[in-house]
Amino acid sequence: MTATTLKTVIGVMGPGKLDPASASDREILTSAYALGQEIAREGWVLLTGGRAAGVMEEASRGANEAGGIVLGILPDADMVNCSSFVSIAVPTAMGSARNNINILASHVVVTCGMGAGTASEAALAIKAGKNVIMLHPGDSAAAFFLELAAGQVKVAENVTSTVALIKSKLNLNG
């Protein structure tokens, strides 16, 4: 039997409910799509909450369209609400408790936008000792998480700086 090299898994967490008519929500969705594309181009596996909604859908679409692998950890017992851009779906029947799987299975966690579920994932990531990169977190969420775990949390300005921070956290720069 030969050894297998494990793939690097980048978790992208973000709100499922966003309004495309809102300029700020549209920016989050556009960033999620571009982030999914860049993750795929780097050869990393994208992990999301797997649903056909919000950041999960757009990041999955971006990675899928760039030829990447998309792992979706679903809250339900079935795949009814699964994004069509997910390559590997894992139904959990765990509801929001599946957030812990999302975090523990990711080498680096990126939040794109912020909501209650996303905040819970950021908190779980900090508790698990994972690196967290926040893109479009909002001022109050950024301040809270930076105060809570300054060494583990970084706020990115855009998708390019997010990818650079991921590489830094994976020790891939230089």
* CATH code of the domain in which 71 resides: 3.40.50.450
Q: Looking at residue 173, what is its pLDDT?
A: 55
Q: Looking at residue 2, what is its pLDDT?
A: 67
> Does 97 fall in a domain?
yes
Provide the percentage of residues in the chain whose pLDDT is more than 70. Answer: 97
> Does 2 fall in a domain?
no
Give me the number of domains the chain comprises. Answer: 1
> Does 44 fall in a domain?
yes
> Does 149 fall in a domain?
yes
Residue for token pair 């991921």: 166
> Does 82 fall in a domain?
yes
Q: Looking at residue 5, what is its pLDDT?
A: 87
Q: Looking at residue 60, what is its pLDDT?
A: 99
Q: Looking at residue 95, what is its pLDDT?
A: 95
* 40: its two tokens: 């795929």
Q: Where are the beta strands (DSSP E) in the chain?
A: 9-13, 45-48, 70-74, 88-91, 108-112, 131-135, 153-156
- The residues facing 73 across adjacent strands are 90
CA distance 100 to 158: 26
CA dihedral 52→93→44→158, nearest 10 degrees, is: 50
Q: Looking at residue 1, what is its pLDDT?
A: 58
Q: Which residues in the chain land under pLDDT 70?
A: 1-3, 173-174
> Does 1 fall in a domain?
no
Q: Looking at residue 76, what is its pLDDT?
A: 97
Q: Looking at residue 174, what is its pLDDT?
A: 47
Helices then strands (H, E): number in the chain?
A: 6, 7
> Does 56 fall in a domain?
yes
> Does 45 fall in a domain?
yes
Q: Looking at residue 71, what is its pLDDT?
A: 99
pTM of the prediction?
0.95
Segments forming the whole domain that contains residue 61: 9-168
